[in-house]
C-alpha cells in the first residue's frame, strides 16, 4: 500500500510525466549568443506566448504613461537598438511600453514585448542610460532567456518525476524507498537553486548583449554602467543573500560591466565618439514626466510577478 509521501511521489511523478512528455523539445544554436541551448518553444511560439502575456499587463501596473512625447521617445530608442540585433534572429513583434508606475524596474516578455517603468526613467539622466536599460531587455529576448528558463524547469521536473515514480513503485523496505523519500525534496530545492543561478547568469549575458546593441546604435556602452550605479544608490536597505536571489546585486554587475568595457569598448566614455544625448533626455523624458500627476498607487506591483523580474529589477527599500 502506498501512503503519505509515497502516494504523493507516485502521483506527482505520473502527473508530471503525463503532462510533460507531450511537449515538443529540441536544441538550437542561438544567433545572439552563439551557444547551443535546449528549447521548448519555437520563435513563433515565443511571439504568441509574449503577446498573450502582454495583453492587459500594462493596466496592472498603472497603465501606460499618458504623454505622447516620452512614450514615443522610448519606442524610438528601442527600435533603433533592435537594428543591431544579430542576423538569424527572426523578425519579432517589438513593442516598447512606458509604464506609469514609480516602481523602479524594466522587464521583457518572449517575442519582443518590453516594459520600462516611469520610476526607472525618472532616475536616469541621459538617452544612453535609457538605451542601456532597453538594450538589456532586448538581450533577454534575443538570448531567449524566458524559453531557456522554461526548458530548464522542464528538465528538472522530468528528473523529479522519474525519481518520484521510482520511489513510489519501490518496495516499502527497499533502499530506494528509504533514501528516495528523503532525497526527492532535497533535489527539488537544490535544483531550484541551480535554476536561480541560471537566472543570474542570464542577467550578466543580457548586460553584455545590451552593451553590444548600444554600441551598434552609436550609444556610449558605459551608459549601462551608470544605470547600475543608479540602482546601487537606490538599493540601500536589507537584502536577501545574493546566491539565493534571482538577480545579482548592482555592485556585482558593476564589476562585470567594468570588465566588459575594458576588454571590448576602449572608447567607452568618450563623448566625442559615442552618443549620450543628455539634453534630449531632459526635454523628451524628464520635463514631460515632471508635468504629469504622480504615478497612481498600483494595486499590483512587479513584486507580485517574480516571473517578470529582470536585470533592472525593483530595488528594495525595506525587508520583506
Q: What is the pLDDT of residues 24-55, one digit of tens each?
A: 456 778 889 888 887 888 999 889 988 988 88
In a domain, 142, yes or no: yes
* Cβ pair 116, 104 in contact under 8 A: no
Calpha distance 304→278 (Å, rounded): 33
C-alpha triplet 93, 35, 314: angle, nearest 5°: 55
- The dihedral through the CA atoms of 307, 311, 312, 313 has a sign that is positive
Q: What share of the chain is helix, strand, coil (3-state, %, to 5)?
A: 60, 10, 35
Calpha distance 94→139 (Å, rounded): 12
Q: How far is CA 60 from the centre of its chain?
A: 18
pLDDT on residue 174? 53
In a domain, 319, yes or no: no
In a domain, 186, yes or no: yes
The CA radius of gyration of the chain, in Å to the nearest whole number, is 22
Domain assignment of residue 213, given as a range: 4-308
pLDDT on residue 251? 83
- Residue that is written with C-alpha cell 503532462 in the block: 19
In a domain, 316, yes or no: no
In a domain, 92, yes or no: yes
Calpha distance 147→235 (Å, rounded): 29
Q: How many domains does the chain fold into? A: 1
* Cβ pair 281, 227 in contact under 8 A: no
In a domain, 15, yes or no: yes
Calpha distance 312→300 (Å, rounded): 18
To the nearest 10 degrees (0 to 180), the angle between helices 43-54 and 145-169 is 100
Calpha distance 85→49 (Å, rounded): 21
What does the pLDDT look like over 244-282, one tens digit per residue?
Answer: 455 677 788 899 999 999 999 999 999 999 999 999 999
In a domain, 29, yes or no: yes
Cα–Cα nearest to 240, from 316, 314, 307, 149? 316
pLDDT on residue 287? 98
In a domain, 318, yes or no: no
pLDDT on residue 146? 81
C-alpha cell of residue 74: 522610448
Q: Which of 12-16, 24-28, 121-125, 202-206 has the highest mean pLDDT?
A: 121-125
Amino acid at each position: 500500500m502506498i501512503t503519505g509521501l509515497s502516494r504523493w511521489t507516485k502521483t506527482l511523478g505520473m502527473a508530471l510525466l503525463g503532462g510533460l512528455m507531450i511537449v515538443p523539445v529540441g536544441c538550437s544554436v542561438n544567433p545572439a549568443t552563439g551557444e547551443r541551448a535546449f528549447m521548448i518553444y519555437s520563435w513563433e511560439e515565443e511571439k504568441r506566448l509574449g503577446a498573450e502575456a502582454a495583453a492587459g499587463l500594462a493596466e496592472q501596473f498603472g497603465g501606460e504613461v499618458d504623454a505622447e512625447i516620452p512614450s514615443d521617445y522610448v519606442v524610438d530608442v528601442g527600435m533603433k537598438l533592435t537594428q543591431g540585433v544579430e542576423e538569424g534572429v527572426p523578425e519579432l513583434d517589438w513593442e516598447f511600453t512606458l509604464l506609469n508606475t514609480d516602481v523602479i524596474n524594466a522587464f521583457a516578455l518572449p517575442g519582443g514585448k518590453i516594459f520600462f517603468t516611469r520610476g526607472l526613467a525618472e532616475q536616469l539622466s541621459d538617452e544612453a542610460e535609457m538605451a542601456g536599460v532597453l538594450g538589456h531587455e532586448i538581450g533577454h529576448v534575443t538570448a531567449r532567456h524566458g524559453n531557456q528558463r522554461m526548458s530548464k524547469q522542464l528538465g528538472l521536473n522530468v528528473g523529479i518525476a522519474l525519481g518520484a515514480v521510482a520511489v513510489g513503485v519501490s518496495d516499502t523496505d527497499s533502499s530506494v524507498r528509504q533514501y528516495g523519500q528523503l532525497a526527492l525534496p532535497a533535489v527539488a530545492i537544490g535544483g531550484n537553486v541551480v535554476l536561480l543561478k541560471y537566472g543570474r547568469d542570464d542577467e550578466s549575458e543580457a548586460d553584455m548583449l545590451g552593451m553590444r546593441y548600444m554600441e551598434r546604435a552609436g550609444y556610449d556602452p558605459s551608459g549601462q554602467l551608470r544605470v547600475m550605479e543608479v540602482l546601487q544608490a537606490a538599493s540601500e536597505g536589507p537584502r536577501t543573500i545574493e546566491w539565493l536571489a534571482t538577480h545579482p546585486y548592482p555592485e556585482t554587475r558593476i564589476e562585470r560591466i567594468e570588465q566588459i568595457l575594458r576588454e571590448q569598448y576602449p572608447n567607452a566614455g568618450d563623448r566625442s565618439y559615442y552618443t549620450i544625448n543628455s539634453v534630449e533626455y531632459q526635454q523628451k523624458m524628464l520635463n514631460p514626466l515632471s508635468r504629469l500627476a504622480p504615478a497612481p498607487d498600483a494595486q499590483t506591483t512587479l513584486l507580485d510577478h517574480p516571473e517578470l523580474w529582470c536585470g533592472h529589477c525593483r530595488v528594495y527599500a525595506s525587508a520583506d
